A and B are shown apart, each in its own frame.
Chain A
Amino acid sequence: MEVSMTVNGRAVSADVEPRTLLVHFLRENLRLTGTHVGCETGYCGACTVHVDGKAVKSCTMLAVQAEGADVKTIESLASNGNLHPVQEGFWERHGLQCGFCTPGMIMASVALLDENNNPSEDEIRHGIEGNLCRCTGYHNIVRAVEYAGAKMRGEEPPPPDWEGGE
């Protein structure tokens, strides 16, 4: 089946099997391997991308369902070498270890902050509930999103809580 969409600002089209999942279209057809697969039940969120501005688990959607859509993946988040505040937050606040859940976690966090750039800790935790991380215990992911929220509001982010922090 022919499918066409915009991915990271570029028009793409391909002939795919109808059963092709969006995540496989991105990873295998477009070789955008920043989006990861961590389970096959739509539970872990490692495959989270943006479809028409909304965070979507790309393993729960067929590529053909994204016909005509505007899809953004982790590869498009930094612009002209400038990190998105959420990427910066994850780096600054050690919000990642192995990095495997990170692209999905970042895309989910961007969608969360796009809706509410001043979330409470509880709101952050609920906002990323659909994304599993096995390394960080989420502690520093919450700090990373808090950092990004502050940056997006033009405020000074809270200091890190490790020894020797600012």
Chain B
Amino acid sequence: MNTEATIPSFIGAPVQRREDPSLITGTARYVDDLTPTGTLHLAIVRSPFAHADIIDIDTSAVDDMHGVWAVITPDEVADVQMPPTPRPDRNVPRRFPLVQGRALMPGDPVVAVVAESPSLARDAADLIFVDYEPLEVVGDVEDAMEAPPIHPDLSSGSNVAYDRSKGDRQAFDALEGPIRLNGLVDHPRVVPAPMENRVILAEWKESGLTVHMNSQAPQLMHEQFASDFGLPQSEVRVITPYVGGAFGCKFDPAEEEYLTIVAARITGRPVKWAETRREHLLTIGHGRAQLHRYEVVADTGGRIQGLWVDSLIDLGCRHRYLSYMEITPRMGTGNYDIGVYGWRMRGVWTNRAPRGIYRGAGRPEATLTVERVMEAVAAATGLDPTEVRRRNFIDPDAFPYHSSGGAEAGGYKYDTGEYEKALDKLLEECDYEGLRQEQAEARDMGRILGIGLAAYVEVCGFEDWGAARIQVHADGSVTVYVETLDQGQGHRTSFAQLVASVLGLDVSQVKVENGDSAATPYGWGTSGSRSIAQGGSASHAAAEKVGVKAKKIAAHLLEASDADIVLADGKASVTGTDVSVTWEEVVSAALTGNVPEGVTPGLDEEIHLKSGGLNFPFGMHLAVVEIDPESGSPKLDRMWAVDDAGNIINPMLADGQRHGGLAQGIGQAMWEEVVYDDDGNLATSSFMDYLIPTAVTLPSFGLDSTVTTTPTNPLGAKGIGEAGAIGSTPAVLNAISDALGGAEVQVPVKPEQIWRALQAADLRRGDPTDG
């Protein structure tokens, strides 16, 4: 039976967002907007030193202070469990809500104060005296490998927490070449910096622990808190209302979440902690933090024979979240078919904030390096950057393709891809030949333009199952409870489109709820661009189960065969006739037991859906920059992206994801960098120093797409959340390098670096003042 033609589908339509009316009128509630009567506020005394022993803590000035409810010292939290599970034998140190005797990074929490107002808590925190004995700071990741260990109790006996490698080095050394190149690609620390900082509000009630927090994965927090505080999961509830952006940094809990829960237990009152921007920049999981050295072997035709990448990961002082660590080497060969690939990766402790998850989490590092490799090979062979990529792309017929050295080297199995098609579309879209001509003409007039290309492929859909529950109310309206968690992506709209399309309802009849662990099914929440593939597919599949049952009930009411029933326009109709019952009548019959034999009353369904594996979206990004010859100041003039995320549920939302990703990737290329001084102090502790893109530093973006579906989920959709942040950084870096005649540059490419490159180029040409 073919009913496709008669079902109005919202899939693929730019449906306006259902969440916007409350967000544009100021009525949406974020965690910090919730302050139950009696709420106390938590402030933290933090170490001003990057590395110091704590000699003494004197809280006497606030012990009797009016309005101060509790002062929490390290001893009081010495038995609190928190993730990750400590494994001294495997170099995973134990983490505590407050440091135990020694601060390991600037901003490490030492004492917590709970008081009746945020300002009083801060005042009291400032009166607490802590005596520190500063220790030598382990800062630079390369120096750290030789420095005394900052975790002397761990088995490794050094700051190298792990040293892993894969690949056939003998085969690599035996490659013919003749082109052999090596280079360095730096991936400095960056900060996720969503506009909303972290906030948690904890309360212990008779029924157990209730936590409001802006988490990406409330179900996981629920599970974690229950385990760490020794409660049955039935007595814990984690509620996430609107979230003001996350980009990875709100996935895993940190010291402050645990402190707040402990404070609520001690005081018996609701306790709130609202992170300041300074605290965010100091202590949140920093992204990237890798240093890569590559070796590449190619033939004179630009065909790459082998790639070897040796990477140092600046772990900071503790682990936050472990499993993302190997994504970079596992994605190391990018969009290219490279015969021999191998890698070494060392994770190194430093007196810096823990490395954490940030948009792309491992893929941007892989992509930036391999795209710099492509530029190096293009320069060495004299090929155009587009041509060298074409010659190395994985052939569309080769999918599914085992990338990055195959299974032996830990490579992933890519599902589908058509890279050259996307490149062709990009080059046509931006008029590549025209741009090169414009560049040449500009140069004749003393202007410096650079054009940079980058290809990317990324991996999405980790934890390859998703869960959703559909509740059909007596009036026919529908609520979808889904385990993924919206932080601005628009799931309340796109998931409603999926469910409404299956049930033949209007999008306005479907409400999507996420974030209350007492109401939503178990799941991994939103990370790694998994939401559409997992949560979306599960919502869609749950709707299909509801639809199957609704058709049986409608067939019973209409005395027809359920195979002939179509759900559309708010009705269940017998196909090809005008015989129908309304959706509301079907629902009423279902809820009152007017159902055929063998069908249980009710229409609610829950599904935990296993997907067919990971999906691999891809695309091509191109940047045009102009350099001011006098100051070296770069301006991003134009930016194009052709992205392929398979089937798109809502192109308006997908474009929004791409825009935001591009902005963050561009920020990383041009401005964003966490800077510590020689004493280990954070020099970028406000938005005055940590520069995220503003409206005037970015252009409008030119977007286009290709569609290569995936067989790994029923929607044929791939992830789109991180794509923009992956391709744009190398595109911009390559553009700046191109402007400088292929000069070696590292992100973020600030004016000084460019100015120095310009001077060096001038010196090579002779006297810069001479003609």
Task: Tell me how far the C-beta of A24 lies from the nearest C-beta in chain B, rounded to whole angstroms.
Answer: 8
Asked whether, in the complex, the Cβ of A74 is within 8 Å of the Cβ of B276, the reply is no
A149 at the interface (CB under 8 A from B): no
| Given known A43-B687, A44-B195, contact A75–B27 (CB-CB < 8 A) | yes
B24 at the interface (CB under 8 A from A): yes
Asked whether, in the complex, the Cβ of B651 is within 8 Å of the Cβ of A163, the reply is yes
Residues of A28-87 at the interface with B, using a CB-CB cut-off of 8 Å, are 28, 32-41, 43-44, 46, 73-75, 77-78, 83, 87
Task: Please choose the segment from B218-226, B240-248, B601-609 that sits at the chain A interface, where 4 or more of its residues have CB less than 8 A away.
Answer: B240-248
Q: Which residues of B contact A98 (CB under 8 A)?
A: 194-196, 242-245, 487-488
Report how far A132 CA is from B298 CA in the complex, Å.
44
Nearest A residue to B15 by beta-carbon distance?
Answer: A164
Asked whether, in the complex, the Cβ of B25 is within 8 Å of the Cβ of A43, the reply is no
Asked whether, in the complex, the Cβ of A40 is within 8 Å of the Cβ of B245, the reply is no
Asked whether, in the complex, the Cβ of A94 is within 8 Å of the Cβ of B28, the reply is no
B663 at the interface (CB under 8 A from A): yes
Q: Which residues of B contact A128 (CB under 8 A)?
A: 695
Binary contact track A78-112/B, C-beta < 8 Å → 1, others 0: 10000100010011101011111111001000000
Asked whether, in the complex, the Cβ of A37 is within 8 Å of the Cβ of B25, the reply is no
Residues of A98-154 at the interface with B, using a CB-CB cut-off of 8 Å, are 98-103, 106, 121, 124-126, 128-129, 131-142
Nearest B residue to A96 by beta-carbon distance?
Answer: B23
Q: Which residues of A contact B648 (CB under 8 A)?
A: 163
Report how far A38 CA is from B199 CA in the complex, Å.
12
Report how far A44 CA is from B244 CA in the complex, Å.
13
Asked whether, in the complex, the Cβ of B21 is within 8 Å of the Cβ of A91, the reply is yes
Q: Which residues of A contact B723 (CB under 8 A)?
A: none
Residues of B592-646 at the interface with A, using a CB-CB cut-off of 8 Å, are none
Task: Tell me how far the C-beta of B524 lies from the nearest C-beta in chain A, rounded to whole angstroms.
Answer: 20
B489 at the interface (CB under 8 A from A): yes
A10 at the interface (CB under 8 A from B): no
Q: Which residues of B contact A137 (CB under 8 A)?
A: 659-664, 693, 698, 701, 724
B418 at the interface (CB under 8 A from A): no
| Given known A33-B26, A125-B696, contact A39–B277 (CB-CB < 8 A) | yes
Asked whether, in the complex, the Cβ of B196 is within 8 Å of the Cβ of A92, the reply is no
Q: Which residues of B contact A165 (CB under 8 A)?
A: 14, 652
| Given known A102-B23, A140-B656, A163-B705, contact A43–B686 (CB-CB < 8 A) | yes
Asked whether, in the complex, the Cβ of A99 is within 8 Å of the Cβ of B19, the reply is yes
Q: Which residue of A97, A101, A160 is within 8 Å of B490 (Cβ)?
A: A97
Q: Which residues of B contact A91 (CB under 8 A)?
A: 16-17, 20-21, 24
Q: Which residues of B contact A32 (CB under 8 A)?
A: 26
Nearest B residue to A145 by beta-carbon distance?
Answer: B695
Report how far A43 CA is from B193 CA in the complex, Å.
13
| Given known A34-B26, A35-B26, A128-B695, contact A99–B14 (CB-CB < 8 A) | no
Most interface-central of A19, A27, A37, A106 (chain B CB within 10 A): A37
B566 at the interface (CB under 8 A from A): no
Q: Which residue of A37, A106, A160 is within 8 Å of B652 (Cβ)?
A: A160
B692 at the interface (CB under 8 A from A): yes
Task: Tell me how far the C-beta of B134 lies from the nearest C-beta in chain A, rounded to whole angstroms.
Answer: 27
Q: Which residue of B19, B24, B196, B696 is within 8 Å of A129 (Cβ)?
A: B696
Nearest A residue to B694 by beta-carbon distance?
Answer: A129
Report how far A48 CA is from B339 CA in the complex, Å.
56
Q: Which residues of A contact B26 (CB under 8 A)?
A: 32-35, 73-75, 77, 103
Task: Please choose the segment from B29-37, B311-319, B363-371 that sits at the chain A interface, where 4 or more of its residues have CB less than 8 A away.
Answer: B29-37
Residues of B3-20 at the interface with A, using a CB-CB cut-off of 8 Å, are 12-14, 16-17, 19-20
Asked whether, in the complex, the Cβ of A34 is within 8 Å of the Cβ of B32, the reply is no
A2 at the interface (CB under 8 A from B): no
Task: Tell me how far the C-beta of B196 lies from the nearest C-beta in chain A, rounded to whole angstroms.
Answer: 4
| Given known A106-B24, A139-B659, contact A97–B195 (CB-CB < 8 A) | no
B700 at the interface (CB under 8 A from A): yes
Task: Tell me how far the C-beta of B197 lies from the nearest C-beta in chain A, rounded to whole angstroms.
Answer: 7
For the complex, count residues of A whose C-beta is within 8 A of B. Answer: 61
Asked whether, in the complex, the Cβ of A38 is within 8 Å of the Cβ of B277, the reply is yes
Task: Tell me how far the C-beta of B50 lies from the nearest C-beta in chain A, rounded to whole angstroms.
Answer: 22
Binary contact track B676-707/A, C-beta < 8 Å → 1, others 0: 00000000001110001111101011010100
Task: Tell me how far the C-beta of A15 lies from the nearest C-beta in chain B, rounded to whole angstroms.
Answer: 14
Q: Which residues of A contact B20 (CB under 8 A)?
A: 90-91, 96, 99
Report how far A121 CA is from B244 CA in the complex, Å.
26
Q: Which residue of A87, A92, A124, A163 is within 8 Å of B25 (Cβ)?
A: A87
Nearest A residue to B19 by beta-carbon distance?
Answer: A99
Q: Which residues of B contact A41 (CB under 8 A)?
A: 277, 686-688
Task: Tell me how far the C-beta of A39 lies from the nearest C-beta in chain B, rounded to whole angstroms.
Answer: 4
Q: Which residues of A contact B13 (CB under 8 A)?
A: 164
Asked whether, in the complex, the Cβ of B25 is within 8 Å of the Cβ of A78, the reply is yes
Q: Which residues of B contact A87 (CB under 8 A)?
A: 24-25
Q: Which residues of A contact B30 (CB under 8 A)?
A: 33, 36, 100
Q: Which residues of A contact B425 (CB under 8 A)?
A: none
Asked whether, in the complex, the Cβ of A136 is within 8 Å of the Cβ of B244, the reply is no
Nearest A residue to B704 by beta-carbon distance?
Answer: A163
Report how far A37 CA is from B655 CA in the complex, Å.
27
Report how far A134 CA is from B14 CA in the complex, Å.
22
Asked whether, in the complex, the Cβ of B278 is within 8 Å of the Cβ of A160, the reply is no
B234 at the interface (CB under 8 A from A): no
B561 at the interface (CB under 8 A from A): no
Task: Tell me how far the C-beta of B674 lies from the nearest C-beta in chain A, rounded to whole angstroms.
Answer: 16
Report how far A32 CA is from B703 CA in the complex, Å.
38
Q: Which residue of A100, A126, A164 is within 8 Å of B195 (Cβ)?
A: A100
Report how far A32 CA is from B276 CA in the complex, Å.
20
B119 at the interface (CB under 8 A from A): yes
B745 at the interface (CB under 8 A from A): no
Asked whether, in the complex, the Cβ of B655 is within 8 Å of the Cβ of A162, the reply is yes
Report how far A101 CA is from B25 CA in the complex, Å.
12
Asked whether, in the complex, the Cβ of B14 is within 8 Å of the Cβ of A121, the reply is no
A17 at the interface (CB under 8 A from B): yes
Most interface-central of B13, B24, B660 (chain A CB within 10 A): B24
Asked whether, in the complex, the Cβ of A37 is within 8 Å of the Cβ of B32, the reply is yes
Asked whether, in the complex, the Cβ of A142 is within 8 Å of the Cβ of B695, the reply is yes
Task: Tell me how far the C-beta of B217 lies from the nearest C-beta in chain A, rounded to whole angstroms.
Answer: 16
Q: Which residue of B244, B489, B651 is within 8 Å of A162 (Cβ)?
A: B651
Q: Which residues of A contact B278 (CB under 8 A)?
A: 40
Task: Tell me how far the C-beta of A149 lies from the nearest C-beta in chain B, rounded to whole angstroms.
Answer: 15
Q: Which residues of A contact B32 (CB under 8 A)?
A: 33, 36-37
Q: Which residue of A27, A46, A132 is within 8 Å of B692 (Cβ)?
A: A132
B653 at the interface (CB under 8 A from A): yes
Report how far A35 CA is from B688 CA in the complex, Å.
21
Q: Which residues of B contact A125 (CB under 8 A)?
A: 695-696
Report how far A90 CA is from B20 CA in the complex, Å.
9
Task: Tell me how far the C-beta of B407 lies from the nearest C-beta in chain A, rounded to whole angstroms.
Answer: 37
Residues of B412-439 at the interface with A, using a CB-CB cut-off of 8 Å, are none
Asked whether, in the complex, the Cβ of B245 is within 8 Å of the Cβ of A162, the reply is no
Nearest A residue to B702 by beta-carbon distance?
Answer: A161
Q: Which residues of B contact A34 (CB under 8 A)?
A: 25-27
Q: Which residues of B contact A136 (CB under 8 A)?
A: 656, 659-660, 663
Task: Tell me how far the C-beta of A26 lies from the nearest C-beta in chain B, rounded to whole angstroms.
Answer: 10
| Given known A38-B195, A136-B659, contact A164–B14 (CB-CB < 8 A) | yes
Q: 8 A-B contacts, Cβ less than 8 Å apart?
A: A34-B26, A36-B32, A44-B687, A90-B20, A94-B656, A97-B245, A99-B244, A133-B695
10 pairs of A and B residues whose beta carbons are closest in the complex: A34-B26, A100-B244, A98-B488, A137-B663, A99-B23, A97-B488, A74-B26, A33-B33, A137-B659, A39-B277
Q: Beyond A36-B30, A136-B656, list 11 extra A-B contacts (CB 8 Å).
A: A35-B26, A36-B195, A39-B277, A41-B686, A73-B26, A83-B25, A96-B20, A103-B26, A126-B695, A141-B695, A164-B14
A residues contacting B by CB (< 8 A) are 17, 19, 27-28, 32-41, 43-44, 46, 73-75, 77-78, 83, 87, 90-92, 94, 96-103, 106, 121, 124-126, 128-129, 131-142, 160-165
B residues contacting A by CB (< 8 A) are 12-14, 16-17, 19-21, 23-30, 32-33, 35, 119, 193-197, 242-245, 247, 276-278, 487-490, 648, 651-653, 655-656, 659-664, 686-688, 692-696, 698, 700-701, 703, 705, 724
